[in-house]
Amino acid sequence: MNFNMKKHNIGVPFVSIILAMLVGAVAMLLAGYNPVSAYASFFDGIFSSPYLMGETIRQVTPLIFTGLAVAFAFRTGLFNIGAEGQFLVGQLAAVAVGIFFKLPFFLHIPLAILAAAIAGGLWGAIPGYLKAKRGVHEVITTIMMNWIAFILTNYLIRTYMKAESERSMDIQPTASISFEWLSDLFQGARIHLGIVIALLFAFLMYFLLWRTKQGFELRAVGSNSLAAKYAGMNVKRNIIKAMFISGALAGLGGASEGLGVYGYMTISSVFPGVGYDGIAVALIGSNTSIGVILGAILFGALTFGAQNMQMASDVPYEIIRIVIAFIIFFIASSDIAKSILGLLRKIPLRSRKGGA
Amino acid sequence: MEWLSILTTIIHNAVIYATPLIFAALGGVFSERSGVVNIGLEGLMIIGAFASAVVTLWTESPFLGLIAGALAGVLLSLLHAVASVTFRAHQVVNGMAINFLALGLAIYLTKQLFSGSAQTTTLKTLIPKWDIPWLSEIPYLGPMFFKTYPTSYFAVLVVILCGYLLYKTSFGLRLRAVGEHPAAADTMGVHVGRMRYTGVLISGALAGLGGAIITLTTTSNFSYSTISGQGYIALAAVIFGKWNPYGVLGAALFFGCVQALNSSAQVLGFSAYIPTAFIQMLPYLLTIIVLAGFVGKAEGPKASGEPYIKGSR
């Protein structure tokens, strides 16, 4: 199966978003809500104040990481459903280093982040190894690894680092990537340095994939593994490498969340969901770095704005899940959007300008 | 014989856990055999579980609930078929859309129907267990296999039916041909698009039924967590069972067993010796080990995931 998306022009995602919002409006009308005021309160909830913008960025940050993770694996022809688990072990590793090490900040932060990348990377490399050496389908193993990560991290927090409530102890202040001056800039929103790290890694992923020989090999394995093998590339090693890097990216997302937003890790009864959302982000962004950033912004803004919409106009939060689903649907079925774009182009320019 | 009665309980539970997986995974087989990847099984189960809860509450008939579950699955899978076959969409991408849509839609509608609550009220009428005369009286084997829900007996029948349909009828041959080599099937006069629609819609019916069975035998209401990963496990069962109905039956029973082991770990007193966390992990670890050790390379239908464009090579 080839995961590389057809190249589509910038119009397709745009038309898809509009179509999906129309579907959402119909769903609201059918349930007796006013879609216009609902969407208005929705946009209010994202942009109307620096605080809300900061919180939206906080929501977007982990999605960039998991989106990059999934996109990177897709590029190598692998479907990493395991970003969820890699995110969790990454967060645990970062928080553990944050709690138990006593270091100056310029060593502490990098160490905690590195630990997260390695933990997430190894968590991804196991399915990679099993795929390369034993031919086990990565879709199954990554799903299983998610559950193992979920149970294991809860167990480790409970046994070795539990605070009084259902969460880990707080990390040392030297490991925190949340800075007061940055928060103050956004009226106390929980925005943190993670967004900078996310953008940095988005660039690094682009650079690795498109500007290095290693990246060429990874992409070659992804688009045609037989041809890659014939050209003398080590397909198996590239699969393991790709899954390690993919897992590391998701793990970094965990670190960003643990060190930036909370400063601890909760014992959770449900999956955080960012790993699964990362799949959608990668797909919306056609597996490119810039696309993932835009996809994460879209996705994070939609999710965050929906919470405000529920409070302000009583429309259930889930309406946005429906809108997101249809965005993905229309992007997947890009022929629909393309034919609409085609129709628009057929309208003569004169009548578009109002018949002047 | 203490351990024997423990084993009886575990197997009894395993069959109950396995039943919805069998249906959903069989659905996956039909879709993938026709050449359409369906990672939307989770979503199809969700919508089936939701519809069955609502209809059973209205009509007080779990039987109508089952039918509603299957129909809801068909309707949602129609969206997948339209995207995958007609619009030649990226099938994995659209499968994710199905999963998002199902959960969003089901909770949205639940909130509409149950005055803002994110879960349905508890069903009063559920599927009762049936004792099979004579067979249920066999010591140990009886309670294991013949004192369970009728849906489990039905599941075995459906497996046999699917096996027959796929391997012994011309419909099955066509369906598989379309999934392996659509161009060749097309030359022989098989309508590729129509076969793929059929495959996807059957998968919707079966997965919807699977979701309905979870509501009507296990959870007795619908909420956010009624379906939590069973669709993905069913997906694993499709691959584990090598896209074959009988293989799928075995795989689903295996997953059922590990889950049953898991849920009775505390009762059995293992937890005194090993932290519960490790027992909870066991099903997932075992799955990985079994797949890595015994099953080996899993090769799906050749054209699975590839949209068919007439005249292309």
The CATH number of the domain holding residue B50 is 1.10.3470
With a cut of 70, say whether residue B270 has pLDDT above it.
Answer: no
With a cut of 80, say whether residue B39 has pLDDT above it.
Answer: yes
Contact between A325 and B100 using a beta-carbon 8 Å cutoff: yes
Among A137, A139, A333, the residue with its CB nearest the CB of B83 is: A333
For A215-249, write each residue's pLDDT tens digit.
999 998 888 888 888 888 899 999 999 999 999 99
Q: Of A156, A160, A192, whose CA–CA distance to A268 is shortest?
A: A156
pLDDT band at A284 (very low <50, low <70, confident <90, very high): confident
Residues of the domain holding B159 = 2-295
Q: Do residues A347 and A49 touch, judged by C-beta distance below 8 A? A: no
With a cut of 90, say whether residue B210 has pLDDT above it.
Answer: yes
Tell me how close the Cα of B303 comes to any Cα of chain A, in angstroms.
8
Classified as helix, coil or strand, B200 is: helix
Q: For the residues A259-281, what does the mean pLDDT come to? A: 88
Q: For the residues B73-88, what does the mean pLDDT come to? A: 94
Rounded Cα distance between B46 and B28, Å, is 15
Is residue A316 in some structural domain? no
The total of other beta-carbon atoms located within 10 Å of residue A208's CB is: 17
With a cut of 60, say whether residue B68 has pLDDT above it.
Answer: yes
Sign of the alpha-carbon dihedral angle for B152, B157, B160, B164: negative
Give contacts of A134 with chain B, Cβ < 8 Å.
291-292, 296
Interface of A with B in 217-276 (CB under 8 A): 270
Is residue B203 in some structural domain? yes
Among B88, B108, B297, the residue with its CB nearest the CB of A319 is: B108
Look up residue A181 and give its DSSP letter.
H
With a cut of 50, say whether residue A6 has pLDDT above it.
Answer: no
pLDDT band at B298 (very low <50, low <70, confident <90, very high): low
Contact between B108 and A320 using a beta-carbon 8 Å cutoff: no
Rounded Cα distance between A336 and A321, Å, is 21
List the single residue in B with minimal CA-CA distance to A337: B87
User: Touching check for A79 and chain B: CB below 8 Å?
Assistant: yes
pLDDT of residue A350: 55
Rounded Cα distance between A198 and A196, Å, is 5
- A179-184 LR contacts (CB < 8 Å, sep 24+): A183/A54
Q: Of B96, B93, B87, whose CA–CA distance to B307 is shortest?
A: B87
Is residue B307 in some structural domain? no
Look up residue A175 and give its DSSP letter.
G
**A:B CB pairs within 8 Å:** 148
With a cut of 80, say whether residue B311 has pLDDT above it.
Answer: no
* Number of domain units in chain A: 1
Among B90, B104, B240, the residue with its CB nearest the CB of A321 is: B104
List the single residue in B with minimal CA-CA distance to A279: B96
Contact between A325 and B97 using a beta-carbon 8 Å cutoff: yes
Can you give the pTM of this predicted structure?
Answer: 0.86
Q: For the residues B227-253, what does the mean pLDDT come to? A: 89
% of chain B surpassing 70 pLDDT:
95
Among B97, B100, B291, the residue with its CB nearest the CB of A136 is: B291
For A329-342, write each residue's pLDDT tens digit.
888 888 888 888 88
For A189-212, write each residue's pLDDT tens digit.
888 999 999 999 999 999 999 999
Give contacts of B288 with chain A, Cβ < 8 Å.
130, 136, 140-141, 144-145
User: Which of the residues A314, A318, A336, A340 would you substitute to probe the B interface, choosing the one with the greatest number of B C-beta atoms within 10 Å?
Assistant: A318
Residues of the domain holding A214 = 61-287
Among B87, B96, B291, the residue with its CB nearest the CB of A279 is: B96
* Number of domain units in chain B: 1
Is residue A308 in some structural domain? no
Contact between B83 and A329 using a beta-carbon 8 Å cutoff: yes
User: Touching check for A81 and chain B: CB below 8 Å?
Assistant: yes
Among A151, A152, A333, the residue with its CB nearest the CB of B89 is: A333
Give contacts of B100 with chain A, Cβ < 8 Å.
280, 321-322, 324-325, 328
For A152-168, write each residue's pLDDT tens digit.
999 999 999 998 888 99
pLDDT band at A4 (very low <50, low <70, confident <90, very high): very low
User: Touching check for A2 and chain B: CB below 8 Å?
Assistant: yes
Tell me: ipTM over 0.95. Answer: no
Start-end of H helices in chain A: 11-30, 35-47, 50-75, 83-100, 105-134, 138-160, 180-185, 194-211, 213-223, 225-230, 235-256, 274-284, 289-313, 318-332, 334-346, 349-352
Give contacts of A332 with chain B, Cβ < 8 Å.
83, 87, 89-90, 93-94, 97
Q: For the residues B61-90, what does the mean pLDDT come to? A: 94
pLDDT of residue A1: 42
Token output for A132: 């390369």
Contact between A143 and B236 using a beta-carbon 8 Å cutoff: yes
Tell me how close the Cα of A2 comes to any Cα of chain B, in angstroms.
8
User: Touching check for A26 and chain B: CB below 8 Å?
Assistant: no
Q: Do residues B108 and A319 touch, judged by C-beta distance below 8 A? A: yes
Contact between B291 and A152 using a beta-carbon 8 Å cutoff: no
Give contacts of A334 with chain B, Cβ < 8 Å.
87, 89
- Higher-confidence residue of B113 and A41: namely B113
Is residue A261 in some structural domain? yes
- Listed range (A6-15, A123-132, A243-252, A273-282) with the worst mean pLDDT: A6-15
Is residue B161 in some structural domain? yes
Phi, psi of B148 (to 5 degrees): -130, -170
Is residue B181 in some structural domain? yes
Is residue A96 in some structural domain? yes
Is residue B310 in some structural domain? no
Is residue B266 in some structural domain? yes
- Higher-confidence residue of B24 and B310: namely B24
User: Touching check for A159 and chain B: CB below 8 Å?
Assistant: yes
With a cut of 80, say whether residue A348 has pLDDT above it.
Answer: no
Is residue B26 in some structural domain? yes
For B120-179, write each residue's pLDDT tens digit.
989 888 888 888 888 888 887 888 888 889 999 999 999 999 999 999 999 999 999 999
Tell me how close the Cα of B236 comes to any Cα of chain A, in angstroms.
5
Is residue B309 in some structural domain? no
Token output for B25: 């995974």
For A46-99, write each residue's pLDDT tens digit.
878 888 889 999 999 999 999 999 999 999 989 898 999 999 999 999 999 999
Q: For the residues B80-96, what does the mean pLDDT come to? A: 89
Rounded Cα distance between B217 and B221, Å, is 10
Tell me how close the Cα of A32 comes to any Cα of chain B, in angstroms.
10
pLDDT of residue B308: 84
pLDDT band at A5 (very low <50, low <70, confident <90, very high): very low
Most confident of A2-16, A255-269, B297-311: A255-269
With a cut of 90, say whether residue B89 has pLDDT above it.
Answer: no
Rounded Cα distance between A199 and B230, Å, is 35
For B91-116, write each residue's pLDDT tens digit.
887 898 899 899 999 999 999 899 88
For A285-334, write each residue's pLDDT tens digit.
888 999 999 999 988 888 888 887 887 777 888 888 898 899 888 888 88
